[in-house]
């Protein structure tokens, strides 16, 4: 049985204790619910892969309570400081070189010499992290390849019985995963997400590099990911008879991501609406979404949801 903890002092304490004991705890963050485990404990981290049914050992993001905790594990840089000053706590993950004697399980890094770190902008996540005082590895708390969870119910639909607890704090405000920026060489956009590329470039004062084509540095870059079990058809002007419609702006539908065409609101509704439409077991037609601001992350996730399934 998976405990559903309320996000009060008791629940936060309990979550921190469970994490320290090596259990898996799903935590609310501002982006999506994460499936947390002690990043130093290989048995605990191995259980993340088992619970999600993740096919291979893809590297995980380590969540920290503050910059000081991040600096225990990675070689910090001026660019990292600039981006952290502007966007932490927040939906930005930084990939940096690992320090010697970092103590992080090699299952977290999948053997890489780099580590992805993020300080989430969520009072409950931050309270658990500081209470536990440990680095917490956490991928999105969904079965591998399925729609990411933005409520505790989404988490339990996929993982009930497979994890120790879920700390329920209602819906996640941002609704899409963090933006991942590689700071190994030139700052590189590894995954679009909750912080818009334009905002990062304003702070950096130069464009972000696109990742090298054909290198899969993030499983989120696999063609089929974030996928509902239903077929998804993009850039639809209207639904066909057998379809349900996910609308945006003036193009209405069975559900609308944002009637006013607000991309921030659309991101926060994206996964919940996909979960709901998926329950109809009908193919899903999706209205066009502009590719600016958070639209870039939304279109990235939709493109993967629509890609042919690989089993």
List interacting residues with ligand TXA (CB under 6 A).
29, 31-32, 34, 58-61, 93, 95, 109, 112, 114-116, 118, 138-140, 177-178, 180, 190-191, 217-220
Task: Give the nearer residue to ligand TXA in terms of CB position, either 263 or 285.
Answer: 263
CB of 11 within 8 A of CB of 5? yes
Of Mg ion, ligand TXA, none, which one does residue 301 interact with (CB within 5 to 8 Å by kind)? none
Q: Is 148 annotated as a binding residue?
A: yes
User: Footprint of Mg ion on this chain (CB under 5 A)?
Assistant: 140
Phi, then psi, of 25 in degrees rounded to 5:
-130, 125
Residue number, 11 or 158, with CB nearest to Mg ion = 158
CB under 5 to 8 A by kind: which of ligand TXA, Mg ion, none does 180 bind? ligand TXA
User: Is residue 27 reached through a cis peptide bond, with omega within 30 degrees of 0 on the bond before it?
Assistant: no
Longest dimension (CA), the chain: 59
* CB 24, min distance to ligand TXA, A: 13
Going by their DSSP bridges, the two strands 34-38 and 232-233 should be labelled as unpaired
226 labeled part of a ligand binding site: yes
Comparing CB distances to Mg ion, the nearer of 203 and 223 is 223
Q: Which residue number, 140 or 256, has a Cβ lying nearer to Mg ion?
A: 140
Q: In the complex, what is the shortest distance from the CB of residue 82 to Mg ion, in angstroms, rounded to a whole number? A: 27
Is 63 part of any known ligand binding site?
Answer: yes
Q: 72 among the known binding-site residues?
A: no
What is the end-to-end Cα distance of the chain in Å, rounded? Answer: 28
* Nearest distance in Å: CB 265, Mg ion: 22
Summarize the annotated binding site for L-threonine as residue ranges.
31, 138, 178
Annotated binding site for ATP: 54, 58, 63, 114, 118, 140, 148, 191, 226
């Amino acid at each position: 049985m998976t405990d559903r903890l309320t996000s009060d002092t008791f629940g936060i304490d309990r979550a921190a204790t469970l994490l320290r004991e090596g259990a898996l705890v799903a935590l609310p963050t501002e982006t999506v619910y994460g499936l947390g485990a002690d990043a130093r404990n290989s048995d605990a981290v191995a259980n993340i892969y088992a619970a999600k049914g993740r096919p291979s050992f893809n590297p995980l993001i380590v969540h920290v309570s503050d910059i000081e905790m991040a600096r225990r594990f990675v070689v910090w840089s001026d660019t990292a400081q600039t981006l952290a000053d502007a966007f932490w706590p927040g939906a930005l993950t930084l990939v940096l070189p690992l320090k010697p004697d970092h103590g992080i399980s090699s299952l977290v890094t999948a053997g890489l010499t780099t580590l992805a770190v993020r300080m989430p902008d969520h009072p409950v996540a931050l309270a658990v992290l500081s209470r536990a005082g440990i680095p917490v590895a956490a991928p999105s708390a969904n079965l591998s390849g399925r729609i990411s969870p933005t409520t505790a119910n989404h988490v339990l639909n996929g993982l009930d019985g497979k994890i120790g607890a879920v700390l329920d704090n209602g819906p996640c405000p941002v609704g899409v995963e963090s933006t991942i920026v590689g700071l190994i060489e030139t700052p590189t956009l590894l995954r679009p997400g909750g912080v818009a590329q334009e905002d990062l470039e304003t702070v950096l004062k130069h464009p972000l590099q696109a990742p090298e084509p054909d290198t899969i540095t993030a499983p989120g870059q696999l063609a089929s990911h974030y996928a509902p079990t239903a077929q998804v058809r993009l850039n639809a002007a209207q639904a066909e008879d057998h379809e349900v419609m996910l609308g945006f702006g003036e193009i209405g539908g069975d559900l609308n991501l944002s009637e006013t065409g607000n991309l921030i609101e659309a991101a926060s509704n994206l996964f919940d609406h996909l979960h709901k439409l998926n329950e109809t077991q009908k193919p899903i037609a999706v209205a066009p979404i502009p590719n600016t601001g958070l639209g870039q992350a939304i279109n990235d996730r939709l493109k993967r949801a629509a890609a042919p399934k690989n089993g």
